[in-house]
Structures are given as C-alpha cells and as structure tokens.
Amino acid sequence: MDALLPVLKSHPGPSVLVCSLLFRVAHRLLQRLPVPKVVFQNELRLWKWRNLSVSMVHSLLTAAWALTCVFALPDTLRNIHSYHTPLSYLLICVSTGYFVQDAGDIILTGHAKGSWEFLIHHAVVILCFSYSLYTQLYVAGAVLALFVEVNSVTLHMRLMLKLACAQSSPMYQINKFANLFTYVFFRLCTQFYLTWYILQNYHWLDHGAYFLASMLVMNIMILIYFYRLLRADFCHRKGSVGQNGMHNNNEKFLTD
C-alpha cells in the first residue's frame, strides 16, 4: 500500500478514472442479478434499481472503509486538515471515481432533469474530493464525510423496497427506524462536526471559505432531505398510496 501511494498522488486524475471504470464494470455485472417483477415492468424503476445497486456497493464498501480508517487511526478524527494515510487516500480515489461514474450514468441515460439535485450534490463532492486528492489536504475530512455512507445503506434499502412496492413489509418498517437513526447519527452529526471544525479553525485553514461554503450548501440539502424523509415515512398523507402499494402523482414518491 505504501508503494502505491506515490503513484496515486502523482496521477490522481487517472486514478479516479480507473476507479470510475471499475464501478462501471460493477454496474454491468449487477445487471445480471434478478430484479423484482414490478421493477422490471417499468423503465424508470428499472433504471433506478440498477443505479441504486451500484450505489449500495459503494456505500457498503466506503462506509466500512471510512469507519476502519478512523477507529484504527484516531488522528483522522483530530486532524482533518493535513493527516492522511495510503489507505485513506485510496479511499477518496475510489469514492470520487464512484461519484464520477454515477453522475455520468445520470446524464448519459437522460435522467439529468429529474435528478438535478443529485447532480448538484455529486458536483460539490467531486470538487471537494478532487481538491483533497490534488493537494493532499483535507483527506481526513473527506474520510469523515464518508461516514454518511452508513446512512446511505439504509436510504438505498428504503428506496429499493419502495421500488419493489414493499412499503407495508416488516423489513421496510424496521429499515424506516434504522434509517432515521443513521440519518441523525452518521449524516447530520458528521456534517455538523465538519462544519464546526471549519468554523473553529477558519482563520488558518487553506481555502477555508471554499470549504465553508461547500459545507453550508450540503447542510441545507441534508436538512431538506431530512424534512422530506420525516414527511414521507412518519407523516402519513391520506390518498398518497394507490393500488398495489403504488403511489400516485406518477413516480414522484421515488424521490421522497
């Protein structure tokens, strides 16, 4: 791993592209897995299912990886400005590659208009992670930011169950509360810790204004998503569900 780090640091752009291609290969391989009938019968649902399958792989991989980096090396938590290891640097390469692949999938399949919020999110993440890869600064901060992928696992599971019209299943009900817990603990707390760190050390951090602005944009987005999550899963709206568990208003429920 130590021998790999100089190569990654010398060529961060090509390294990210290689990781992006690997996720594209994973996308192709995952298409061979069986899909629920209700998903296969609808083009939008099928695309979302396949897209989420790759996202789930990324979330499972990077969530475990980020937690390992922090618990094995506590300096990752204490010095988010300049501390990093070969393992953490490689993690950011891999994750950036995923976001590049996912943004490309959204745009090239013609779903950019309906997924513009995700594209904004991906653009902010790609810019911040790329800065870390090219400058070798804030790599530890990027690793901490990937704590949110713990919550992404339950978020992806939630939407995949919705795609399969399984909102009334015990699994959905269990995941609903697990998703709420991980959203608060791993997404909101992580995001606010990073914002607090930047505010506390703003006077000496490199390009502090840029990262503070990025954090504020992300904070607004995750609070809006949190409100939508609470509204969709814990504030039942009369007439929101049609026959066979299908929600009305076309496929809008898939974004809730």
Taken in order 254, 61, 100, 182, the sign of the CA dihedral is positive
Evaluate if residue 243 carries a pLDDT over 90.
no
As a whole number, the mean pLDDT across the chain is 88
User: What's the pLDDT score for residue 5?
Assistant: 67
Evaluate if residue 235 carries a pLDDT over 90.
no
Among 1-15, 161-175, 225-239, top mean pLDDT goes to 161-175
pTM, entire model: 0.88
Residues in Cβ contact with 126 at an 8 Å cutoff, skipping those fewer than 6 apart: 96, 99, 100, 103
pLDDT of 42-84, one tens digit each? 999 999 999 999 999 999 999 999 999 999 888 888 889 999 8
User: What's the pLDDT score for residue 246?
Assistant: 45
The closest alpha carbon to 219, from 102, 116, 121, 72, belongs to 121
User: What's the pLDDT score for residue 57?
Assistant: 97
User: What's the pLDDT score for residue 254?
Assistant: 52
**Spatial separation of the C-alpha atoms in residues 72 and 64, rounded to whole Å:** 12
Residues in the chain, total: 256
CB count in 10 Å sphere of residue 225: 17
Write down the domain spans for the chain.
4-231+240-255
Mean local confidence (pLDDT), 112-135: 92
For residues 250 and 38, the model is more confident at: 38
Lowest mean pLDDT among 2-6, 38-42, 55-59, 227-231: 2-6
Evaluate if residue 12 carries a pLDDT over 60.
yes
User: What's the pLDDT score for residue 122?
Assistant: 95
Q: Which residue has the tokens 């998903």?
A: 39
User: What's the pLDDT score for residue 248?
Assistant: 42
User: Residue 109 has what DSSP assignment?
Assistant: T
CB count in 10 Å sphere of residue 145: 24
**Spatial separation of the C-alpha atoms in residues 195 and 230, rounded to whole Å:** 23
**Spatial separation of the C-alpha atoms in residues 231 and 132, rounded to whole Å:** 36
Evaluate if residue 255 carries a pLDDT over 70.
no
**Spatial separation of the C-alpha atoms in residues 180 and 160, rounded to whole Å:** 16
CA 99 to chain CA centroid, Å, is 8
Evaluate if residue 101 carries a pLDDT over 60.
yes
Mean local confidence (pLDDT), 32-49: 93
pLDDT of 128-176, one tens digit each? 999 999 999 999 999 999 999 999 999 999 999 999 999 999 999 999 9
Evaluate if residue 226 carries a pLDDT over 70.
yes
Mean local confidence (pLDDT), 10-20: 91
User: What's the pLDDT score for residue 9?
Assistant: 76
Mean local confidence (pLDDT), 116-138: 93
